[in-house]
Amino acid sequence: MRSELFGTLSDTDELLSSDVHRWTLERDGVRVRVLTYGGIVQSVETPDRTGARADVVLGFADLDGYLRHTGPYFGALVGRYANRIAQGRFTLDGHTYPLARNNGPNALHGGERGFDRHVWAAEQAGPYAVRLSRVSPDGEEGFPGRLEVSATYALEAGGALSITYEAVTDAPTVVNLTNHTYWNLGGTDGKAGSAAGHAVRIDGGRVTMADGDLVPTGELLDVTGTRFDFRAPRTAGSGYDHNYVLDKGVTARAVEVAGLHDPVSGRTLGVATTEPGLQLYTADHFDAALPFEPGAGIALETQHFPDSPNRPEFPSTVLRPGEVFRSRTVYTFGTDA
């Protein structure tokens, strides 16, 4: 494991440091690079069926790329609340909290400056692990409570990448964290073709139906006989930005719930999580300003459901003083031969 200077933010109000470092983890044929800016997974190098290793995530070679292209959240750690909160507000214990509205009328992925746009403190957490941490002050982007949060990135035996999140608060708040990596198992190495030919599997029999602003309506659609059914692996194509209700629900340990397969390279990806939901996003909204074409990657964002703070029927995202928020997701890499 090693750490190196990756870049420097020229205009920042960070209390810790404006320097951005890159941590490299390597084990059992897998190499992962993580940035202290935004907790970004910059690269994941894995072998194909012939043993040739290539980067399988969308990212940039320098810090400037991430500063210029913040909207797609490339590889980022997303919070304080991943996904959307309707109308940029929620009520907790009788008090209504207005949030930054950065997605039409709604709050998205933590607001104007969410966790993805801060420099995190970093420390080695074992021979193959780095722990990132920061304090989100009370009122940041409108969210209540001083939140102490950490994310530990580790390479497990066999080269699986785990991300373990923990948080505590001094006042009632809501928390929903995810990683926003885009996967292209064909290999990117600075550029990428389409990931539309990847086979997708998701162990979710329902999706949270959404309105035109991608906010849940409250309806849970049975995927049987619809284009949303990925319970048996099939090609994803395009047109997906939907939250799946995972059949397993919330679990204490990470359970495998999804997978990708690239038939050309033979690479496979398995996703295990403690979370009850997973957002499938096929990146159809990439525009001409990006060096990647629409559909160049597929995001599988493990999470609680969008707009849960306003939907008491959804699994709760409330965190109270004295409680510990814990969430864990594991990405397993392999080949079909």
User: Which CATH number is 277's domain given?
Assistant: 2.70.98.10
**For residue range 118-177, what is the model confidence (pLDDT) as tens digits?**
999 999 999 999 999 999 999 999 999 999 999 999 999 999 999 999 999 999 999 999
For residues 132 and 166, is the Cβ–Cβ distance under 8 A? no
Q: Calculate mean pLDDT across residues 279-292.
A: 94
Output the CA–CA distances (angstroms, integers) from residue 317 to 111, 303, 309, 321, in the order listed. 17, 10, 7, 13
182 among annotated binding-site residues: yes
242 is catalytic: no
- 37 annotated binding-site participant: no
Helix (H) or strand (E) holding 270: strand 267-273
pLDDT tier for residue 189 given thresholds of 50, 70 and 90: low
Close Cβ partners of 102 (under 8 Å, ≥ 6 residues apart): 108, 111, 112
Q: What is the pTM of this model?
A: 0.96
With contact defined as beta carbons under 8 Å apart, do 151 and 177 qualify?
Answer: yes
Rounded average pLDDT over 297-318:
98
Q: Which of the following is catalytic: 180, 198, 242, 261?
A: 180
According to the annotation, is 180 in a ligand binding site? yes
Catalytic, 301? Answer yes
Residues 323-331, mean pLDDT to the nearest whole number = 98
pLDDT of residue 337: 79
Is 96 annotated as contributing to ligand binding?
no
**How many domains does the chain contain in total?**
1
Q: Is 83 annotated as a binding residue?
A: yes
Q: Which of 21, 261, 301, 304 is catalytic?
A: 301
Place 190 in a pLDDT band, splitting at 50, 70 and 90: low
Q: Is position 241 annotated in a ligand binding site?
A: yes
Range of the domain at 210: 2-335
